[in-house]
A and B are shown apart, each in its own frame.
Chain A
């Protein structure tokens, strides 16, 4: 008796260990039309399963109770019936069709990525998310903000966990309500998956490929999700937080971001001339290190060899300063070491390098300044960075043809040769050299309606970009009219698009004048 009481007591303590009311048993209804459709479909499927279960298990239990030997049941003789077999093949098929119809409808709606109002590129990397707003010049990383001491309890410590433990980040993704927001999802390293249950959006982030998803949220709020595809050590520590704002608040937020960007650029410039004290470098270095480096290299600097080498006493952290800065700036190919050039300011990089060179007994005494980082960054840009080269080429082209003769009539050969060069430079990154594109984000031009259809529409698309697809930029200001004429001619005649159309600069001039 006593024992039984104890049992109930311990069960009771498990039950009462936290508020029952908070316990979620079912799928979320979410805050979009699609997520509600998905929820309805889930409930339909579940009720059907429960109904079938009641019938089948009911029959089983009935026969277990009434057809048992101990009750004197004698076994019947039947063991075959084609009629019955056909019946219980046909009925499930009908039930399945009843489920497939709404499922198909919802799926078609989910896969309709057209006509979006806002496009955001989402890039996963180990173990954070990067968001880039098209046409807004806003981009940022979003990193777990739960303090390390809350989850690292191996030494027996139990820091109180916050309300949004493991589901909080330093910078929220912000989107407007009632606008169709399209996500272009990709990855820098391994496969991740971007998942926000309240939107019913889950898409894999595949390195080298772009996936699409969209949402249209009707309720402002903060919605939380997580990476859903195993992506290495800290897979459980890269949450997603989306803040949905009303359209007006969203506009204000955009303006704020632009101001912050301008301030950051100014601060970056200022830091290049400033000489920061060792103490300040070490303090900033430590916070940066803990936030960005300690996941792999550990707070102690001992790393997790062999995948994540130690920094304490390492040749990188005690050797050549420039090499050290270079590895932080540009990463190390073929390893988990990422390039932090885009993620951290030069001041932060200077601080973290300083920290690594002086912490854990690496007492080199080196103090690295932002200007030193700039020097290394410059050096590596001249031999690797593509954007610089493109800028150079553009400059050269501009010098060669200072005045554009819009009345000049080019031959087919001239247009095609020039067009191919322009295409390779400005278009092939997305639409590919073969013209096959990378659908669905970057459609094929080979055999496409645009490249084979109306010339004016084609020119307009190149000059002004796409209204539906923000990934298609406006090239009117980036290319000369001659170049646009050439590239349009090229696209209309390459890869078997043999329209025979020759587009001259005058036509482009006329079209862009409208």
Chain B
């Protein structure tokens, strides 16, 4: 193994890697590692932007009364916060991981469609520039919630709908291109001998996620286009006065929206399934059942969309169908959690930062799963729906779920990306500050929702005051804690202990057979898999 690495390194030294200098390197790049880096930085910038919006929201909600913002601006904040975090932070971060890791994990020299790869990244900053520019227009930013229910987003919108629709179209095009690239790469560029069932689970989860994206992004594009023509061209898809139906909007939106939440969690499963075995020094328990569970979650995600719509006036049969299907998702999800626990069981564990984030992921994501199961029960959903209980639920799965897995993955592969070890004690500070503050931020939201606080309100009744204060304090602390991560990453890029090719003794996979930092071009000749 060691000799391999040295050979590879010296081999690379002999060749010019043809990369341009300065800004042109990044603008014109078709290299999967460069594009992965771009995606990851973009996602982090968006995370801080969306986080800043959330801080203003929490500042307004710190105490009863309207102190800082007007109600309409408050709605703009919640809308853009949601859009940025979903489409700007979590999804691009995962695409960044896919770009960096999939070619190296399957032994391919690059992504299958490198020029498209460049384009699918570089249209993203324009999409978000359009979206954010609405804050500086007379109309203001979109104020109808990230779910943009008609007719609030059509007849009654503030004039930002066109910009919003255009931005979403661009994000959708970017996602579809990224997904096609992942599918083509995995299907065609695996090293000889790497059968599907020998692929790392990480690759499997991205493979399935990419299919979900290709299936549902066109639905989103369709629904925003209908929104556009309803608003500006006199159609009535969602207007009862013209023969349309506002609930049709919700069906179309959630047919995209529910698979979308799995688009944001399946890759997290892949990352965590890579990290836990590495630090438990034990093979992943039930690899094939993990693959099947991921696939069944993906399939089920297409037939549960209306559980977001129990209060819209569905017939009893519809409510029962969507309740049963939704409950069914708990089964494959449970299998995954049990497999992770079984992987840890009788392992030889150590607790470096990637492992800490992964373990926190398993526990906190499971808590989000529990509240998800409760939400699936239609009769009680009538009480939980559109309250802070739901806000708590999806932040547990998206922040302590998806985002924590992204941090786990970032710490895990930082040595491979930068060639340096990150500062472990600073990283542990990041973990512990995040863990405490994130729970202070989101756990009391369960209580607020059960006590009856609706979501998306800029001011609240007095009985909600105490918890909101705690939640806001948690929010500020969590937001500030993320700056520690920025410090860790910058330090790690600029220097630090030199990382060996394989810094984690329990890690497995082809990416650890190349030097750290990974050379600009890897696997120009495919590796042999036995």
What B residues does A232 contact at CB under 8 A? 72, 75, 143, 152, 156
Stretch in A63-71, A132-140, A391-399, A498-506 with 4+ CB within 8 Å of B: A63-71
Q: Does any Cβ of A come within 8 Å of B226's Cβ?
A: no
What B residues does A252 contact at CB under 8 A? none
How many B residues, CB 8 Å from partner?
102
Q: Does any Cβ of B come within 8 Å of A23's Cβ?
A: yes
Kindly state the separation between the CA atoms of A231 and B382 in the bound complex, as whole angstroms.
Answer: 18
Q: A107-B378, A212-B313, A236-B459 are in contact. Are A80 and B331 (CB under 8 A)?
A: no
How many A residues, CB 8 Å from partner?
104
Q: A153-B66, A191-B246 are in contact. Are A64 and B71 (CB under 8 A)?
A: no
Stretch in A299-307, A348-356, A486-494 with 4+ CB within 8 Å of B: A299-307
Contact B338 A56 (CB under 8 A): yes
Q: Does any Cβ of B come within 8 Å of A8's Cβ?
A: no
Contact B151 A190 (CB under 8 A): yes
What B residues does A230 contact at CB under 8 A? 75, 144-145, 149, 152, 455-456
From B283, B347, B377, B454, A99 is in contact (CB under 8 Å) with B377
Q: Does any Cβ of B come within 8 Å of A173's Cβ?
A: no
Contact A203 B139 (CB under 8 A): no
Q: Does any Cβ of B come within 8 Å of A377's Cβ?
A: no
With CB as the reference atom, state the residue of chain A lying closest to B444: A25
Contact A60 B344 (CB under 8 A): yes
Q: Does any Cβ of A come within 8 Å of B363's Cβ?
A: yes
Contact B367 A53 (CB under 8 A): yes
Contact B461 A165 (CB under 8 A): yes
Q: Does any Cβ of A come within 8 Å of B80's Cβ?
A: no
Q: Does any Cβ of B come within 8 Å of A52's Cβ?
A: yes
Contact B385 A228 (CB under 8 A): yes
Contact A190 B156 (CB under 8 A): yes
Shortest CB–CB separation between residue B250 and chain A, in angstroms?
A: 9
With CB as the reference atom, state the residue of chain B lying closest to A42: B380
Shortest CB–CB separation between residue B344 and chain A, in angstroms?
A: 5
Q: A193-B311, A203-B311, A236-B460 are in contact. Are A45 and B380 (CB under 8 A)?
A: yes
Q: A68-B349, A235-B456 are in contact. Are A334 and B341 (CB under 8 A)?
A: no
**Which of B156, B158, B343 has its CB near the most chain A CB atoms (within 10 A)?**
B156
Render A72-83 as a binary contact track against B, CB cut-off 8 A, 1 for contact: 011111111100
Contact B313 A206 (CB under 8 A): yes
Kindly state the separation between the CA atoms of A378 and B124 in the bound complex, as whole angstroms.
Answer: 56
8 Å CB interface, B446-478 against A: 447, 450-452, 454-463, 465-467, 469-470, 473
With CB as the reference atom, state the residue of chain A lying closest to B241: A208
Contact A14 B470 (CB under 8 A): yes
What B residues does A195 contact at CB under 8 A? 386, 454
From A22, A80, A209, A231, B463 is in contact (CB under 8 Å) with A22
Q: Does any Cβ of B come within 8 Å of A122's Cβ?
A: no
Q: Does any Cβ of B come within 8 Å of A317's Cβ?
A: no
From A22, A88, A153, A206, B312 is in contact (CB under 8 Å) with A206
Kindly state the separation between the CA atoms of A190 and B71 in the bound complex, as whole angstroms.
Answer: 17
Contact B247 A209 (CB under 8 A): yes
Q: Does any Cβ of A come within 8 Å of B67's Cβ?
A: yes
From A57, A100, A197, B327 is in contact (CB under 8 Å) with A100
From B337, B346, B386, A229 is in contact (CB under 8 Å) with B386
Q: Does any Cβ of A come within 8 Å of B4's Cβ?
A: no
Q: A75-B346, A154-B68 are in contact. Are A88 and B335 (CB under 8 A)?
A: yes
Q: A69-B348, A92-B331, A336-B156 are in contact. Are A80 and B377 (CB under 8 A)?
A: no
Contact B454 A79 (CB under 8 A): no
Q: Does any Cβ of A come within 8 Å of B495's Cβ?
A: no
From A22, A37, A59, A64, B349 is in contact (CB under 8 Å) with A64
From B247, B284, B382, B469, A38 is in contact (CB under 8 Å) with B382
Contact A197 B345 (CB under 8 A): no
Kindly state the separation between the CA atoms of A153 and B457 in the bound complex, as whole angstroms.
Answer: 16
Shortest CB–CB separation between residue A80 and chain B, in angstroms?
A: 6
Q: Does any Cβ of A come within 8 Å of B379's Cβ?
A: yes
What A residues does B285 contact at CB under 8 A? 78-80
Q: Does any Cβ of B come within 8 Å of A31's Cβ?
A: no
Contact A209 B319 (CB under 8 A): no
What A residues does B386 contact at CB under 8 A? 193, 195, 202, 228-229
With CB as the reference atom, state the residue of chain A lying closest to B457: A236
Kindly state the separation between the CA atoms of A64 and B356 in the bound complex, as whole angstroms.
Answer: 11
From B152, B288, B378, B383, A42 is in contact (CB under 8 Å) with B383
Q: A158-B65, A189-B156, A230-B145 known; 4 other A-B pairs, CB under 8 Å?
A: A22-B463, A193-B311, A204-B311, A235-B454
Which 4 pairs of residues, A with B, have the shortest CB-CB distance? A208-B240, A236-B457, A211-B313, A49-B370
- Give A contacts to B, CB under 8 Å: 14, 17-18, 22-28, 34, 37-38, 41-42, 45-46, 49, 52-53, 56-57, 59-60, 63-64, 67-70, 73-81, 84-85, 88-89, 92-93, 96, 99-100, 103-104, 106-108, 110-111, 126, 150-154, 158, 161, 163-167, 189-191, 193, 195, 197, 200-204, 206-209, 211-212, 225-237, 304-307, 334, 336
28 pairs from A and B in contact (CB 8 Å cutoff): A14-B466, A24-B450, A24-B463, A41-B377, A49-B370, A49-B371, A52-B370, A63-B344, A63-B346, A75-B346, A76-B282, A76-B347, A79-B283, A79-B286, A92-B331, A92-B334, A99-B377, A107-B378, A108-B316, A150-B65, A152-B65, A161-B65, A189-B156, A190-B152, A191-B149, A193-B386, A230-B144, A236-B458
- Give B contacts to A, CB under 8 Å: 64-68, 70-72, 75, 138-139, 143-145, 149, 151-152, 155-156, 158-159, 239-241, 245-247, 280-289, 311-313, 316, 319-320, 323-324, 327-328, 330-331, 334-335, 337-338, 341-351, 359, 362-363, 366-367, 370-371, 373-374, 377-380, 382-383, 385-387, 447, 450-452, 454-463, 465-467, 469-470, 473
